[in-house]
A and B are shown apart, each in its own frame.
Chain A
Amino acid sequence: EAEVAQSPRYKITEKSQAVAFWCDPISGHATLYWYRQILGQGPELLVQFQDESVVDDSQLPKDRFSAERLKGVDSTLKIQPAELGDSAMYLCASSLRQGAGTEAFFGQGTRLTVV
């Protein structure tokens, strides 16, 4: 069964360092999402791509976070510099197309701890 692949699964970094996460969506899925999930809360959207274009990054802290999906396939989310408050699970998801009713498929996530 096709899955959304994320790496690494776990990452510990010191504050002020740079960190990057990678996501490979299900083949053929045009829409890709990055979500942040703080412990005990629901996922919150950071950025949404349609193919290689950003369609929503209104909640992305652009002073330190960046995301790209250069060829419209896999994607990288970067944080520089990391802060203690960035400790969370970072989830990547993909869906076949835009449109209400289309389910999103989630990866296993990257758990980031900033020390």
Chain B
Amino acid sequence: GDSVTQMEGPVTLSEEAFLTINCTYTATGYPSLFWYVQYPGEGLQLLLKATKADDKGSNKGFEATYRKETTSFHLEKGSVQVSDSAVYFCALSLTGNQFYFGTGTSLTVIP
């Protein structure tokens, strides 16, 4: 079935370090791919998205490229800040617009 697999956490980084959170997917069709972020006690907020192969989504210094050949959508940021501490979810959606979420990766950035 359709699913998303995310890198296990938690991840702890020092401020200004480089971040990569891996995400791979399995889908029967051609999905759109998303990264959502969840701060403590809050709902999910869209961070970025890509709707077709080779698209790059970007927002707030975060980037992810839709790689059809490797079925991946890895999240990257060149220099993380303390305020980036949150849980990050990779997700896919197909026609019909049901979203499938990964299990989430907790990121803690220390000063």
The answer to whether A106 and B103 touch across the interface, beta carbons within 8 angstroms, is: no
Q: Which residues of B contact A109 (CB under 8 A)?
A: 42-43
A93→B96 CA distance, assembly (Å): 15
Mask: chain A, 69-98; 1 = CB below 8 Å from B; 0 = not: 000000000000000000000010101011
Q: Which residues of A contact B31 (CB under 8 A)?
A: 100
Set A31, A48, A56, A101: member contacting B49, Cβ < 8 A: A101
The answer to whether B95 and A99 touch across the interface, beta carbons within 8 angstroms, is: yes
Interface check A54, CB cutoff 8 A: no
Given contact pairs A99-B97, A101-B93, A43 touches B44 in the complex (Cβ within 8 A): yes
The answer to whether A103 and B46 touch across the interface, beta carbons within 8 angstroms, is: yes
Chain A interface size, under 10 / 10 to 19 / 20 to 34 / 35 or more: 20 to 34
The answer to whether B44 and A101 touch across the interface, beta carbons within 8 angstroms, is: no
Mask: chain B, 77-111; 1 = CB below 8 Å from A; 0 = not: 00000000000010101111111011110000000
Given contacts A31-B97, A100-B51, 14 further A-B contacts (CB under 8 A): A6-B43, A42-B91, A91-B44, A93-B44, A97-B97, A100-B32, A100-B94, A100-B95, A101-B49, A102-B97, A103-B46, A106-B36, A108-B42, A109-B43
Q: Which residues of A contact B (CB under 8 A)?
A: 4, 6, 31, 33, 40-45, 48, 55-56, 91, 93, 95, 97-109, 111
